[in-house]
């Protein structure tokens, strides 16, 4: 290049830190750094996500049934009894399938339990990658996963290309090569539903492309990829949240591999997570882990400082930050800070004006609840029992408030998919008693369901979400007002009249001229008129919706409406 371009200025770029031995040579050729942009800066700029690291040892739990029971208790601490019982059934089934003390089988069990428990894996938005030591081990893992509920959602992608010559007669002992060949045949035939072995093997490239596409775009249909070397560089899948390491790696290879999980995705992906079964940093042996040593010992310490850090400390930091932000956001709520005070603060008489404040509240509550779940998934507690209980009470409080404010503002319909995900996740940690009717109200909106339902049933369902009748009354009014405003443009005269009736009803209730049940009955009748426009007695020629709207808004002048 220098001989071709003798007068050119050469600028070198590296996407990863330079190794110690490369650094000196590089600086001799190119000179000192012009600029460095380190990982922690990219995290701060929200270009990539921070990385959480957790070392796990399954080896210590395979020696006896007692040890396995201890392991199950560790995996399920923090769960309520209902969720623990549900997970116990999975565990018992896995124990029946994997009665062996095989280490790989224990790792499979560990991952299957994670899939049932960890929020991103459980809700289908996130997926995982398992890095095996060899193609043979990758195939063994695949066969073990076929015995679990992940059987149709797991695939192997390696550089191995099946060859009929691999099928050698080894007597009663199958060779590693023939085992790999047989496993690949089974995987490809199952994927393409192809009986012809040769045809299936000819589709290996198509298989890889389809699997990668499904992994990226449909994480709930492809939850786990098992790899050895392939896809550990240059493969971008925002859904990829967990990287399970069962392979000795270091330096550039490890650096590139762990970066597979740091891509931004939806807001419920807070971190990229590395689960290490090989203890690459000796963290299981040391009281305080140094993630700049051992596997990264050939890098300069300052180049990778903060690249990987302990999971528990990251969770604690994020939880405390979110906790403080929530307290700060709610400082403006008037004393005594009852439920209706929060609803007044986040909803008020102008829902649109307070919409941004509510959105921030929902985001912060979501982040706080996710960290609460992560806190419960830690094997070693980082808070005292008293503080953990206090955090749980706060989680229950904010979850209740989020539901009440969402219902009161009518936002619960827009939050539907988020609510379903969070409901499923929190069911394992916070006991909830939501009836089907309340879930229906959250999904459709208060005004819509009130118009359809029996008043007594509606009242029972709503009393689960709100602590007093004043909150319930204001919430119904907010929702009805919101629907009137949304529909007003289609027939201003008709909906202005309903708006006026609504304001009169609210005023009468606040002045205690109406009991709660009287108010509920009258607003029930009003909601029906809002959702299904009242069928009045129109003149014979006023027979379409457009003509009826014109007639209403032209002071019921038939001649003008028909012009």
CA 511 to chain centre: 45
Phi, psi of 4 (to 5 degrees): -75, -35
pLDDT digits (tens, 9 = 90+) for 47-77: 999 999 998 888 777 666 777 777 788 778 8
Q: Report which DSSP code applies to 299.
A: B
Query: Is 39-57+103-307 in CATH node 3.40.50.300?
Result: yes
Mean pLDDT, range 488-504, rounded to an integer: 90
Residue 227 three-state SS: strand
Q: Which range (103-112, 371-380, 537-546) has the least confidence?
A: 537-546
Q: Tell me the pairing of strands 224-227 and 127-131.
A: parallel
Q: What is the pLDDT of residue 100?
A: 61
- DSSP codes joined into one string, 80-122: -HHHHHHHHHHHHHHHHH--S--HHHHHHHHHHHHHHHSHHHH
Q: What is the pLDDT of residues 251-263, one digit of tens each?
A: 989 999 999 999 9
Pairing of strands 272-276, 309-310: unpaired
Least confident of 80-94, 118-132, 142-156, 422-436: 422-436
Q: According to the model, what pLDDT value does residue 11 have?
A: 83
Both tokens assigned to 458: 């509606």
How confident is the prediction for the chain on average, in pLDDT? 87
pLDDT above 70 (res 205)? yes
Q: What is the dihedral of CA 535, 538, 544, 549, to 10 degrees?
A: -80
CA angle 455, 457, 459 (to 5 degrees): 65
In Å, how far from its chain's centre is CA 14?
32
The C-alpha atoms of residue 559 and residue 17 are separated, in whole angstroms, by: 81
d(CA 264, CA 241): 10
Q: Omega of the bond prior to 336 within 30 degrees of 0, cis? A: yes
Cα–Cα–Cα angle for 421, 423, 427, rounded to 5 degrees: 125
Report the distance separating Cα 434 and Cα 426, nearest Å. Answer: 12
State the DSSP code for 412: G
Distance CA(238)–CA(47), nearest Å, equals 12
pLDDT over threshold 70, residue 425 = no
Residue 116 pLDDT exceeds 50: yes
Tokens 């400390």, residue located = 313
Could you give the CA distance from residue 431 to residue 80 in angstroms, rounded to a whole number?
Answer: 7
- Averaged pLDDT, 142-161: 96
The span from the CA of 426 to the CA of 418, in Å, is 12
Distance of CA 363 to the CA centre of its chain: 13
Residue 188, pLDDT > 50, answer: yes
- Tally of CA atoms within 13 A in the half-sphere of 56 that contains its CB: 28
How far apart, in whole angstroms, are the C-alpha atoms of residue 50 and residue 36? 18
More confident residue, 487 or 217: 217
Q: What is the CA radius of gyration of the chain?
A: 30
Q: Which of 93-107, 195-209, 411-425, 476-490 has the lowest mean pLDDT?
A: 411-425
413 pLDDT higher than 60: no
Q: Smallest Cα–Cα separation from 308: which of 388, 230, 254?
A: 254
Q: How far apart are the first and last CA of the chain?
A: 82
Compute the distance between CA of residue 471 and CA of residue 463 in angstroms, rounded to an integer.
10
pLDDT at residue 288 in the model: 47
**DSSP codes of every residue in 441-478:** HHHH-HHHHHHHS-HHHHHHHHTTT-SSHHHHHHHHHH
- Give 502 or 458, the one with higher predicted confidence: 502
DSSP state, 83?
H
Residue 292 confidence (pLDDT): 65
Residue 419 — pLDDT band, cuts 50, 70, 90? low
Per-residue confidence band for 20, with pLDDT thresholds at 50, 70 and 90: confident
Lookup: tokens for 336: 């005594």
pLDDT level of residue 16 (50, 70, 90 thresholds): confident
| Residue that has been written with the tokens 């955090």 in this structure | 391
The percentage of residues in the chain with a pLDDT greater than 70, rounded to a whole number, is 89
CA distances (Å), origin 136, targets 67, 246, 286: 28, 13, 32
What does the pLDDT look like over 265-315, one tens digit per residue? 998 999 999 999 998 887 655 544 566 677 788 888 888 877 888 889 889
Answer yes or no: are the C-beta atoms of 122 and 116 closer than 8 Å.
yes
Pick the closest to residue 129 from 259, 261, 254, 15 (CA basis): 261
Structure tokens at 144: 């073990």
> DSSP string of 12-42?
---SSPPBHHHHHHHHHHH-S-S----HHHH
Neighbouring residues of 255: CB distance < 8 A, sequence distance ≥ 6 = 16, 17, 296, 304, 307
Tell me which range, 19-28, 239-248, 408-417, 515-524, is most confidently predicted by mean pLDDT.
239-248
Q: How far apart are CA 38 and CA 14, in angstroms?
A: 11
Q: Average the pLDDT over 357-375 and give the result.
A: 93
DSSP line for 139-208 = HHHHHHHTTSTTTTSEEEE-S----GGG----TTSPPHHHHHHHHHHHHHHHHHT---HHHHHTTHHHHH
Q: Are 347 and 354 in contact (CB under 8 A)?
A: yes
Q: What is the pTM of this model?
A: 0.78
pLDDT at 241: 98
How many helical (H) and strand (E) elements, i.e. helices and strands, does the chain have? 25, 7
Is the CB of residue 272 less than 8 Å from the CB of residue 307? no
Do residues 48 and 305 lie in contact, with contact meaning Cβ atoms separated by under 8 Å? Answer: no
Q: Strand, helix or coil at 287?
A: coil
């Amino acid at each position: 290049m220098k001989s071709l371009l003798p007068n050119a200025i050469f600028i070198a770029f590296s996407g990863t830190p330079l190794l110690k031995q490369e650094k000196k040579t590089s600086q001799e050729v190119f000179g000192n750094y012009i600029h460095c942009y380190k990982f922690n800066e990219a995290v701060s700029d929200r270009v990539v996500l921070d990385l959480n690291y957790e070392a796990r040892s399954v080896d210590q739990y395979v020696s006896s049934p007692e040890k396995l029971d201890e392991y199950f208790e560790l995996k399920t601490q923090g769960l309520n009894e209902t969720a623990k019982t549900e997970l116990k059934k999975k565990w018992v089934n896995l124990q029946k399938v994997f009665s062996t003390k095989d280490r790989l089988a224990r790792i499979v069990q560990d991952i299957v339990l994670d899939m049932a428990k960890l929020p991103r894996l459980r809700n289908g938005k996130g997926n995982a990658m398992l890095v095996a030591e060899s193609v043979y081990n990758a195939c063994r893992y695949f066969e073990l996963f076929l015995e679990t509920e992940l059987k149709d959602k797991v695939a192997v992608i390696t550089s191995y290309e099946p060859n009929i010559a691999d099928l050698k007669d080894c007597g009663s002992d199958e060779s590693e090569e023939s085992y790999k060949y047989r496993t690949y045949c089974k995987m490809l035939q199952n994927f393409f539903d192809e009986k012809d072995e040769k045809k299936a093997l000819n589709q290996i490239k198509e298989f890889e492309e389809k699997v990668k596409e499904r992994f990226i775009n449909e994480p709930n249909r492809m939850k786990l990829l098992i790899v050895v070397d392939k896809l550990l560089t240059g493969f971008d899948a925002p859904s990829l949240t967990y990287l399970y390491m069962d392979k000795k790696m270091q330096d550039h290879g490890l650096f590139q591999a762990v970066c597979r999980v740091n891509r931004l995705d939806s807001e419920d992906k807070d971190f990229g997570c590395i689960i290490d079964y090989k203890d690459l940093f000796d963290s299981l042996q040391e009281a305080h882990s140094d993630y700049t040593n051992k596997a990264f010992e050939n890098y300069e310490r300052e180049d990778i400082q903060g690249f990987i850090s302990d999971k528990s400390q990251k969770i604690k930091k994020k939880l405390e930050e979110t906790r403080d932000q929530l307290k700060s956001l709610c400082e403006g709520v008037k004393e005594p800070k009852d439920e209706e005070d929060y609803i007044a603060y986040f909803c008020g008489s102008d829902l649109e004006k307070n919409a941004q404040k509510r959105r921030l509240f929902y985001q912060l509550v979501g982040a706080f609840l996710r960290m609460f779940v992560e806190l419960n998934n830690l094997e070693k507690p980082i808070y005292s029992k008293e503080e953990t209980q206090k955090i749980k009470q706060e989680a229950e409080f904010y979850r209740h408030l989020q539901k009440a404010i969402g219902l009161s503002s009518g936002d619960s319909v827009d939050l539907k998919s988020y609510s379903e995900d969070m409901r499923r996740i929190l069911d394992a940690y916070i006991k909830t008693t939501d009836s089907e009717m309340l879930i229906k109200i959250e999904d459709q909106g208060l005004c819509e369901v009130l118009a359809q339902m029996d008043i007594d049933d509606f009242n029972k369902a709503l009393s689960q979400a709100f602590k007093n009748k004043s909150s319930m009354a204001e919430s119904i009014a907010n929702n009805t007002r919101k629907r009137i405003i949304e529909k007003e443009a289609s027939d201003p005269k008709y909906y202005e009249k309903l708006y006026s009736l609504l304001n009169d009803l609210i005023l009468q209730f606040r002045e205690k001229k109406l009991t709660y049940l009287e108010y509920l009955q009258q607003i029930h009748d009003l909601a029906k008129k809002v959702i299904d426009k009242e069928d009045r007695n129109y003149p014979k020629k006023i027979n379409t919706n457009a003509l009826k709207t014109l007639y209403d808004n032209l002071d019921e002048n038939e001649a003008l409406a028909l012009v």
